[in-house]
Structure 1
Amino acid sequence: MDATTSAPASTSPDHLCVLVHGLWGNPKHLTFLSTSLRDKYPEDKLHVLVAKRNAGSFTYDGIELGGERVAFEIEETLEELARNGHEIKKLSVIGYSLGGLISRYAIGLLFHKGLFDKIQPTNFTTFATPHLGVRTPLLGWHSHIWNVLGARTLSMSGRQLFTIDSFRDTGRPLLAVLADPESIFVQALAKFKHRSLYANVVNDRTVSYYTAAISKIDPFVQPDEIKVNYVPGFEHVIIDGENPVSAKEPEALPAFTQRLTNSTRTVFGKVPFAAFLVVFIPIGGTAFLVNSLIQSIRSMQRIRMHEQGKAGVDIGGYRIPLMINDMRKEVEDMYENMNNAQEQEYLLSGSEELASPSMQSPTRHKSVDSTSDVESMEEHKAGLAVEFPTLALTPDQFAMIQALDDVGFKKHPVYIHEHRHSHAAIIRRMEKPSFDEGKIVVRHWLNEFEL
Structure 2
Amino acid sequence: MSSSKEIHLVVFSHGLWGNPGHLQYLVEQFEAKHGDYVQILNAKSNSSKYTYDGINVCGDRLVEEILAEVKSLQDNTSNKVTKFSIIGYSLGGLISRYTIGILYQQGFFKNIEPILFATFATPHLGIRREDSKLLAKLVNWISSTLLSQTGEQLTFVDKYEGNEPILLTMSRPDQIFFKALSEFKYRKIYANSRNDRTVPFWTAAISEIDPFENFDELEIVTNEKFQDIIESISKLENIPKISFNQKLTNTIKGVLRYMLVVIATPILLPLWIILVLSTITFQGIMSRRRVRKILAMKVKNSNNGLSNDFGTVGSTSLEEDAVETAMNIKNFLAPSSPTTQKSLSNSNLFEDASASTPMSEFTTSSQFPCVRVCQAQCEAFSNLNKLKWEKIVVFLDAFNAHAAIVMRNRLQTKGKEIIKHFVEEAFIV
In the alignment, which residue of structure 2 is the partner of 1:450? 428
User: SS where residue 388 of structure 1 aligns?
Assistant: coil
Distance verdict in 2 for CA 1:272–1:399, change over 3 Å: farther
- TM-score (norm: length of structure 1): 0.77
User: SS where residue 21 of structure 2 aligns?
Assistant: helix
In the alignment, which residue of structure 1 is the partner of 2:337? 354
Distance verdict in 2 for CA 1:207–1:398, change over 3 Å: same
In the aligned structure 2, how far is the partner of 1:40 from the partner of 1:166? Answer: 42
Report Cα offsets for 1:165-209 as digits up to 9, x if no partner.
1114x1111111111121110011010000011111111132111
In the alignment, which residue of structure 2 is the partner of 1:285? 273
Alignment of 1:180-191 (within 5 A): 180-191=172-183
Shift of 1:216: 0.8
Query: Contact 1:20–1:95 at 8 Å: present in 2 too?
Result: yes
Query: Contact 1:354–1:392 at 8 Å: present in 2 too?
Result: no
Alignment of 1:153-192 (within 5 A): 153-168=146-161, 170-192=162-184
Which range moves more in the overlay, 179-188 or 257-266? 257-266
Shift of 1:283: 4.3
2:215 paired with 1:223: yes
Q: Which amino acid aligns with 1:284?
A: W
Alignment of 1:39-438 (within 5 A): 39-42=32-35, 44-84=36-76, 85-168=78-161, 170-235=162-227, 237-240=228-231, 243-247=232-236, 249-252=238-241, 282-307=270-295, 308=297, 314-315=303-304, 352-355=335-338, 365=343, 373=349, 376-379=350-353, 387-417=367-397, 419-432=398-411, 435-438=412-415
Distance verdict in 2 for CA 1:266–1:135, change over 3 Å: farther
CA RMSD of aligned residues (A): 3.5
Report Cα offsets for 1:116-169 as digits up to 9, x if no partner.
11111100000010111112343312211211111111111111111111114x
In the aligned structure 2, how far is the partner of 1:155 from the partner of 1:273? Answer: 30
Query: Contact 2:122–2:204 at 8 Å: present in 1 too?
Result: yes
User: SS where residue 34 of structure 1 aligns?
Assistant: helix
User: SS where residue 115 of structure 2 aligns?
Assistant: strand
User: SS where residue 89 of structure 1 aligns?
Assistant: strand
Distance verdict in 2 for CA 1:174–1:299, change over 3 Å: same
2:11 paired with 1:34: no
2:406 paired with 1:439: no
Shift of 1:103: 0.3
In the aligned structure 1, how far is the partner of 2:10 from the partner of 2:107? Answer: 18
In the aligned structure 1, how far is the partner of 2:261 from the partner of 2:379? Answer: 30
Q: Which amino acid aligns with 1:61?
A: D
User: SS where residue 397 of structure 1 aligns?
Assistant: helix
Query: Contact 1:139–1:352 at 8 Å: present in 2 too?
Result: no
- TM-score (norm: length of structure 2): 0.81
Distance verdict in 2 for CA 1:420–1:157, change over 3 Å: same
Q: Which amino acid aligns with 1:441?
A: I
Distance verdict in 2 for CA 1:263–1:214, change over 3 Å: farther
In the aligned structure 1, how far is the partner of 2:13 from the partner of 2:97? Answer: 11
User: SS where residue 372 of structure 2 aligns?
Assistant: coil
Distance verdict in 2 for CA 1:113–1:366, change over 3 Å: closer
In the alignment, which residue of structure 2 is the partner of 1:339? none
Shift of 1:438: 1.3
Q: Which runs of 5+ in 1 are unaligned?
A: 318-350
Q: Which amino acid aligns with 2:111?
A: K
Q: Which amino acid aligns with 1:405?
A: N
Distance verdict in 2 for CA 1:234–1:31, change over 3 Å: same
In the alignment, which residue of structure 2 is the partner of 1:344? none
Distance verdict in 2 for CA 1:201–1:139, change over 3 Å: farther
1:17 to 10, 21, 44: 10
Shift of 1:247: 2.1
- Which protein is bigger by CA-based radius of gyration? 1
Report Cα offsets for 1:73-125 as digits up to 9, x if no partner.
11111111111232111100100000000000000000011111111110000
Query: Contact 2:153–2:166 at 8 Å: present in 1 too?
Result: yes
Distance verdict in 2 for CA 1:379–1:251, change over 3 Å: closer
Distance verdict in 2 for CA 1:379–1:225, change over 3 Å: closer
Pick the structure with more strand per residue.
2
Query: Contact 1:200–1:413 at 8 Å: present in 2 too?
Result: yes
Q: Which amino acid aligns with 1:406?
A: K
Shift of 1:316: 8.3
Q: Which amino acid aligns with 2:428?
A: E
Q: Which amino acid aligns with 2:43?
A: A
Query: Contact 2:237–2:353 at 8 Å: present in 1 too?
Result: no
User: SS where residue 87 of structure 2 aligns?
Assistant: strand
User: SS where residue 244 of structure 1 aligns?
Assistant: strand
Distance verdict in 2 for CA 1:116–1:296, change over 3 Å: same
Distance verdict in 2 for CA 1:65–1:207, change over 3 Å: same
In the aligned structure 1, how far is the partner of 2:262 from the partner of 2:205? Answer: 28
* Paired residues, number: 389
Query: Contact 2:129–2:374 at 8 Å: present in 1 too?
Result: no
Query: Contact 1:13–1:45 at 8 Å: present in 2 too?
Result: no
Q: Which runs of 5+ in 2 are unaligned?
A: 307-333, 356-364
The alignment-based identity, stated in percent, is 34
In the alignment, which residue of structure 1 is the partner of 2:331? none
